[in-house]
Structure 1
C-alpha cells in the first residue's frame, strides 16, 4: 500500500470550505409572448374508378391549392409538399384482385407570419373540393430573441436568489463557480396542435364567398432554467 503524495490531485470539495462556503441555486424564467408564425397542414384528395383520372384530378387540385397559397406572396414564408400517394381500393366482393377505385392524396404545409391573411387563406382552402385543412400550429421562430431573453432572465434570477441567501447570513457573494444550462426551454408547439381547425369540403365551392375565419393567436410560453454555484465570504455565525 502506498500513501498518496502531496502532489497528487485531490478531489474537489462539492460543498465548499469554511473559508469559501458555496451556495447552489436555480434560476428560472417564464415568459408569455405572442406567436411569431403559424403553420397549417393541407391535404388534397382525389378518387375515381380509373387510375389516370384520379391522378389527373389530384394534379389539378394540387395545382389549384399551390396557386392559391402562392397568390398571398410574402405573407407565406414557407411552403412545402410533405407526401404524395395514389392507392388502389380492391372490391369487397368477387374473386381476384379487382380494383374498385383509386384514392390519391397530397400533403402540403404552409407557414405564415401574417395572421390576418391566415384566416382568409384557411377559409378559402377549406372551401375547395376534397381539401382538408389542419391547424393552425402557433410557434416562435427557432432564432427568436425571446429565447435569449428567457435565458438571461433566468441567470439574473439565480444571481439575485444567491445574493438573498448570502444577505440572510450577513455576508456577500465572492465568485461564480459554475453556471449550468439544464435545457428547460419549451417554446415550440409543433407536436400538438393549438386551437386545432379541421375542415373538408366534399363538393364544389359555394357560389357566395365564405366569411374569413377569425383566428385568435395563442400565447406562447417560454421557460428557461439554470443551475448556479457561488462562493461567498465566510459569515459570522
Structure 2
C-alpha cells in the first residue's frame, strides 16, 4: 500500500547590506616605443599602489587582472606603443569606497570602474537563505497536510534547487569627500542591498487524510 505524500517547494528571499565592494583600476600609458610605454605604465601603477597602501585595512585584496602591450597607429600613420595594466581591488570598508575612488580617479592615465557591491564568497547569508527555504518548505507541507486532515510523518527527500542573487535598486546615499588642492570633491555612492534567493524541493510522507474532507 502506497504511503500518502506531499511535495512542496520552499523559497526564501533575504535582502541584506553588501559586505564588500570591487573596484577595477586600469593604468594606460602610450609612447613612441614599448620600453617607454612600459616604464610609464609602471610609474602609473606605482602611484596606484601608493593610494591603495594609504587606504590601509580598508583594502582587503589587490590582484592583477591583466597586462597588455600593443601597437597603436596614430593619425598620420605613425605607430605608438601602448601598455595597459588592470588591477582588481576588493574594499572591505564600504564607507571608504568613495574616498578611494576619488583618490584613484585623480591620478593621471588611470581609469576607475565600479564599485560593484557584493557579498563575500561563502557569506553566512547564503546559509541563512538555504535554511529559511527549508523552513518555508516544512511550513507549506504542514499546511497542505492539515488541509486534508493529515500530519507529516517522515522526510522522504530534500533537493537543493539552488541560490541566486541580485542587487535591488534602492539604497541610502554614502557620502565621500576628497580635496583637489583648494577644491573639494564630493561623491555620493549608494551601496546596493544584496538580494539572495534560496529554494529547495522537499517531499514528505504524511498520515492518512481524513476521509470526511472528501465527503460530498
Report the TM-score when normalising by structure 1. Answer: 0.79
2:12 paired with 1:29: yes
Question: In the superposition, relative to structure 1, how do residues 81 and 223 fare at CA in structure 2: closer, same or farther (>3 Å)?
Answer: same
After the TM superposition, list the runs of 4 or more consecutive aligned residues in structure 1 that deviate by more than 6 angstroms.
none
Aligned mates of 2:38, 2:121 — CA distance in 1 = 37
Alignment root-mean-square deviation, CA: 2.2
Aligned to 1:12: none
Deviation of 1:211 (Å): 2.0
Contact 2:34 2:83 in 1 (8 A): no
Q: 1:85: which partner in 2?
A: 68
Once the two structures are TM-superposed, the CA of residue 168 in structure 1 deviates from its matched residue by: 0.6
Structure 2 residue 86 is matched with structure 1 residue 116 = no
Structure 1: segments with no counterpart, 5+ residues: 1-15, 196-204
Q: CA deviation at 1:227?
A: 0.4
Structure 2 length-normalised TM: 0.86
Please state which structure has a larger fraction of its residues in helix.
2
Kindly provide the CA deviation profile for residues 88-120 of structure 1, in whole angstroms up to 9, marking residues without a partner as x.
2246666xxxx5211111000100111111100
Aligned position for 2:174: none
Report SS of the residue matched to 2:188: coil
2:214 aligned partner:
none
Counterpart for residue 24 of structure 2: 41
Q: Report the Cα distance in structure 2 between the residues aligned to 1:206 and 1:45, rounded to whole angstroms.
A: 22
Structure-to-structure mapping, 1:206-221, within 5 angstroms: 207-221=181-195
How many residue pairs match? The answer is 202
**5+ long unaligned stretches in structure 2:** 172-178, 212-216
**1:182 equivalent in structure 2:** 161
